[in-house]
Structure 1
Amino acid sequence: MLASGLLGFWQEKGAADAVEKLLAVVRITATVIRDGKEVEVPIESVVPGDVVRLSAGDSVPGDCRILESNDLHADEATLTGETYPVEKTAGTLPEDTPLNRRTNTLFMGTHIVSGTATALVVKTGAATEFGKVSASLAARTPETAFEVGLRRFGYLLARVGLIMTLLIFAANVFLQRPVVDSFLFSVALAVGLTPQLLPAITSITLARGARRMAREKVIVRRVSSIENLGGMDVLCSDKTGTLTEGRVRLRSALDTEGDESAAVFFDAYLNAALETGYASPIDEAIRSHDQPDISGYEKLDEVPYDFVRKRLSVLVAHKNREGSVLVTKGALENVLAVCTRARRPEGTTVPVSEAEAGIRDHFADLSGHGFRVLGVARRELTSKTSVGREGEAEMTFVGLLVFSDPPKESAVGTVERLRDLGCSLKMITGDNRLVAASVAREVGLKEPAILTGGDIQRMSEPALVSRAVATEVFAEVEPNQKERIILALKKGGAAVGYLGDGINDAPALHAADVGLSVDSAADVAKEAADIVLLEKDLGVLVRGAEEGRATFANTLKYVFMATSANFGNMFSMAGASLFLPFLPLLPTQVLLTNFLTDLPETTIATDAVDRELVERPRRWDIGFVKNFMLVFGAVSSVFDYLTFGVLLLLLRAGMVEFRTGWFLESVVSACLIVLVVRTRRPFFRSRPGRYLTLATIAVVLLTLLLPYAPFAGVLGLAPVPPVFLLALGAIVAAYVLTAEVAKRVFYGRAEPQGRSEG
């Protein structure tokens, strides 16, 4: 037991070290000013007294007093429940100001939605407001399906072990065997049944899987999520950067008649160049398209973009002109909603109702061809120097911005590969249904079923569960609806993965069975994710899913190996102890048997995985594991009792010879049966990994040499005649062949029922 424990500790320590190195690759950092310089430090290294720089997408590393700010808005929903971003500014407030009115303070556990700030860290960790309520808010992280399966498997073995220990101990005492020997033998049986290296094997396998996935540019932040990634049968993803190139380009700026317009572009450029909120790819596309001279303009105020208004407004003034201009861009519907007039190409304006039909026709045509279309509006003001959301009213609609983001060349093949792996893709996007449908068709989702955010808003939970399963594209989705979609899919029986990288994706990432983000994502998204992709590419994710399935397959191999041989041997030993005049094996021999049979299995993380085991999602099925244990344990017991009969009746073995003979048969058969149960194919058609092969050969040779070693007597072993070895060899060969036949019958019956051990 000590040797097994030390082996497990060494293996688990190596696995933990490997995982720690991988997590360092995607560690969340904060920008702090130290020694007069801005430096990036891990967020957990921020201490009271640090001065931090924050911008849109950043997580707040502690409770902070704002020193300077610019159009700063923070999302405090996790702390106060406030749905809308809260505007923050530097200043002084009374000490007894309520939490939700402390506009000069940023709180740990919240994140920046827009703007920038320089702030002094006052409290960190448990001393923060979030830390004070962490006992009620920071509920235990929900178990993954993999962890649930391991726990249920542990309960199964605990019940079997406890019942067997009590019954065997009672029977031996009833038969007037020595009480101490009977107790030690019973305990040894329980230990022998328990796959005590399962935690180590699980850690090793998952850590090795994490390293292999890292080579595929997939970093695992929570190793237990690897199984969930492999078991994922629905992947929800945005289209930008995953299905499309992710390089948004401004194709044209159009007036209300659909013609190119420099005036529309100029207004859009003013808006994009002077905004200081969230770094949007849309704004970057506008700024990189052209650079007109705006040196005569100055920014007076800004109404940052949020996911409810879906508009961004900038108030500007020209130094040589009277008054100011509010320029707004955003989703067409949301911009039209605040417009009362529309500008004609010649400069005149008309009621927006007269131009709206033509504007919508242009919008529908462009969207149907896969272009993203935004609206631009402006409002002339007299002496305004500041503006709020209420200023977005009575505006004049001036034109359309047309953006392109073509699908990746590899997208069709990737979607097809996902489908081959038994994983369906569902697109969740804020874009309108026409754009979403166009992109979906281009990447291989032919005639996709579409559900819009408006549809979802009107649906009851049962109706959404029913519709979500059959829907491939969710368009015009509000940020708060993403989580609802994920939960509906889970209620429909799917194992759901969600790929998100935005500030508003954190709730959906938490809700998914496996949350996926990218290294370039907002901090809040990376913190919520289980797995981080170093490239925003579904092809990378496909390879990661395959590695996840291979990792799960190897973990289950150990379960099958340990339960089939261990259960059979322990059951046989328990039965033999009842009719033999002596204990069939000494307690030390039971534990040595268990240790030797575990040695080859420690290499299982390096084993090759048959292709069919990664071709579809698999999840834990305790009923399947139990049936496997009973069937293959029974096969093992049949040949154990055959061994007893040969040793006692044919070879007339004495007590020491019997124990030696059965020790040899138990260890050698358990090692060789590994090569059978590790694959569903005939064992000779599935090549095991090199380390598993070498370890199996080494343990078999060591076992055969032990009875002839100088210290054999200490172990209760003795040399046996060659005829013993020949007879035992024949029994082991027959056992391997019988197990191979049993495997074919077992899987032949299990597969038509749709069972999978995952």
Structure 2
Amino acid sequence: MSAQGFRTLGVAYKPADAKQDFTKADEKDMVFLGFITLFDPLKANVADLMAKMNDLGVKLKFITGDNALVAKSLALQIGIKDPQILTGADLLKMSNSALFHKAPLTDVFAEVEPNQKERIITILKKAGHVVGFMGDGINDAPALHSADVGISVNTAVDVAKEAADIVLLSSGLEVLIDGIIEGRKTFANTMKYIFMATSANFGNMFSMAGASLFLKFLPLLPKQILLTNLLTDFPEMAIATDRVDQINIQSPQRWDLGFIKRFMITFGLLSSVFDYLTFGVLLFVFHANEKLFQTGWFAESVISATLIVLVVRTRLPFFKSLPGKYLAIATVLILMLVLALPLTPLATWFGFTRLPLTYYGWMLLIILFYLGSAELAKRWFYRKMNAAANKQMLTVLKK
């Protein structure tokens, strides 16, 4: 009956005098009455929800004080085929090193004591996993506190709710999937901003420093630099509402500082190449003076920085991943403002001048070439990063 998911109690009695004191030694030669079976059915859609979590790269593990047969039955009901089980007795015999290798492969931890729950969570974290733990009892508090994300429910005991990071107010578990997806969207959009801000700032610094070596005037005035930063920030601020590609939602994403550095250097240097190409056009084609040079580079710098967002915001070809509504609106507005600014009275205050019509043709060619080069560089960059990641994974598996 346990194997069918029933928690089973045997009931027996023994005639005795009401005045008699009972001890454990008296628990013999009793009359068996039968079984009491308790069944706690799964929610109707829990199997589907667990399948969706598995599709999202979230591995489900049971940690329970119930016996192994009941726990195995529960695992089978939600779709875990041939669940791997460890009992509390097994854990007592295991060293932390052995559990380090065994825990990630185990589906069900049954007949465990409260302190063993915390041990399992700690070992899984040391094995490199991000661990969420859901519990509602007093004995779950240590594990809730140890997990990367402790989750409890509104009907849990106060100790469990205080130890948890998140308390679910609704009875359904759909909110967990919604939370995972929204979290990944937020993380993906945050990374987009970091990629763009770091690479743009690195490229601008490299271009500014290089131009200062051969120009007799400042490449941009301080107020022009501040205006450049302000205008390029508007599309980047709209990234918070941007669409996220399915590839960024299907699997967990991790913070990787080394990846960010490589991205910054690759695309920062690429932007500088086209800044220097713009310098060449301004100096050798138009023989630009100070104001013309500053106006020309300002226009090219802001327009290219605004449009490059559409390329580097996605791993897909940019035309296959359309930006969100607010990002698209912000991009169009900034482009119109930059093109109109040299023609307005504000141009004098900022130190700008009107640009020759032919310069717009040159600028268009440079920007199109830049966007095309960035698209090719992006494909090469991610292909190289994927190859490096696969090589590292193969090395780990061999070890």
TM-score by length of 1: 0.49
Match of 2:49 in 1: 414
Distance 1:394 1:537, change over 3 A: farther
Contact 1:603 1:692 in 2 (8 A): yes
Distance 1:421 1:482, change over 3 A: same
Q: Deviations over 1:667-700 (max 9, x none)?
A: 1111111111111111111111101110111111
Match of 1:491 in 2: 126
Q: Deviations over 1:191-212 (max 9, x none)?
A: xxxxxxxxxxxxxxxxxxxxxx
Match of 1:476 in 2: 111
Match of 2:81 in 1: 446
Match of 2:306 in 1: 671
**What is the correspondence of 1:189-200 to structure 2 with a 5 Å cutoff?**
none
Match of 1:720 in 2: 355
Q: Deviations over 1:377-419 (max 9, x none)?
A: 77968569xx9xx977745776532011233342332222222
AA aligned to 2:286 is L
Query: Does residue 1:577 correspond to 2:212, yes or no?
Result: yes
Deviation at 1:752, TM superposition (A): 2.8
Match of 1:743 in 2: 378
AA aligned to 1:520 is T
Percent of aligned positions with the same letter in both sequences?
57
Distance 1:453 1:377, change over 3 A: farther
Structure 2 distance, partners of 1:470, 1:495, is: 15
1:635 to 257, 270, 273: 270
AA aligned to 2:271 is S
Q: CA RMSD in A?
A: 2.1
Structure 1 distance, partners of 2:295, 2:312, is: 26
Structure 2 distance, partners of 1:538, 1:453, is: 27
SS in 1 for 2:128: coil
Structure 2 distance, partners of 1:374, 1:562, is: 63
SS in 1 for 2:69: helix
Query: Does residue 1:700 correspond to 2:335, yes or no?
Result: yes
**What is the correspondence of 1:379-398 to structure 2 with a 5 Å cutoff?**
382=18, 394-395=26-27
The more displaced of 464-473 and 522-531 is: 522-531
SS in 2 for 1:424: coil
AA aligned to 1:445 is I
**What is the correspondence of 1:490-529 to structure 2 with a 5 Å cutoff?**
490-529=125-164
SS in 2 for 1:653: coil
Deviation at 1:530, TM superposition (A): 1.6
SS in 2 for 1:603: helix
Number of residue pairs matched? 386
Structure 2 distance, partners of 1:662, 1:599, is: 19
TM-score by length of 2: 0.91
Unpaired runs of 5+ residues, structure 1, are 1-365
Distance 1:698 1:568, change over 3 A: same
Structure 1 distance, partners of 2:23, 2:308, is: 76
Match of 1:466 in 2: 101
**What is the correspondence of 1:78-227 to structure 2 with a 5 Å cutoff?**
none
SS in 1 for 2:315: coil
Structure 2 distance, partners of 1:644, 1:746, is: 27
SS in 1 for 2:61: strand
Structure 1 distance, partners of 2:84, 2:197, is: 46
Distance 1:445 1:553, change over 3 A: same
SS in 2 for 1:423: coil
Deviation at 1:711, TM superposition (A): 2.4
**What is the correspondence of 1:18-33 to structure 2 with a 5 Å cutoff?**
none
Structure 2 distance, partners of 1:677, 1:393, is: 76
Query: Does residue 1:456 correspond to 2:91, yes or no?
Result: yes
Distance 1:566 1:663, change over 3 A: same
Query: Does residue 1:682 correspond to 2:350, yes or no?
Result: no
1:657 to 292, 300, 307: 292
Q: Deviations over 1:630-671 (max 9, x none)?
A: 110111011000000000011111110000000111111111
Match of 2:364 in 1: 729
Q: Deviations over 1:218-264 (max 9, x none)?
A: xxxxxxxxxxxxxxxxxxxxxxxxxxxxxxxxxxxxxxxxxxxxxxx
Structure 1 distance, partners of 2:315, 2:290, is: 39
Structure 1 distance, partners of 2:137, 2:172, is: 16
Query: Does residue 1:545 correspond to 2:180, yes or no?
Result: yes
1:595 to 230, 247, 268: 230
Distance 1:456 1:381, change over 3 A: farther
Determine which structure has more spread, i.e. the larger CA radius of gyration. 1
2:8 to 362, 366, 373: 373
Query: Does residue 1:427 correspond to 2:62, yes or no?
Result: yes
Distance 1:436 1:651, change over 3 A: same
Highest RCO, 1 vs 2 (Cα 8 Å, sep ≥ 6): 1
Contact 1:509 1:529 in 2 (8 A): yes
Unpaired runs of 5+ residues, structure 2, are 391-399
2:168 to 516, 520, 533: 533
Q: Counting strand residues as a fraction of each chain, which structure ranks higher?
A: 1
Structure 2 distance, partners of 1:408, 1:545, is: 20
Structure 2 distance, partners of 1:647, 1:505, is: 68
Structure 2 distance, partners of 1:381, 1:510, is: 50
Match of 2:395 in 1: none
Distance 1:537 1:375, change over 3 A: farther
Structure 1 distance, partners of 2:325, 2:158, is: 41
SS in 2 for 1:754: helix
AA aligned to 1:374 is L
SS in 1 for 2:224: helix
AA aligned to 1:626 is K
Contact 1:377 1:395 in 2 (8 A): no
Structure 1 distance, partners of 2:86, 2:342, is: 72
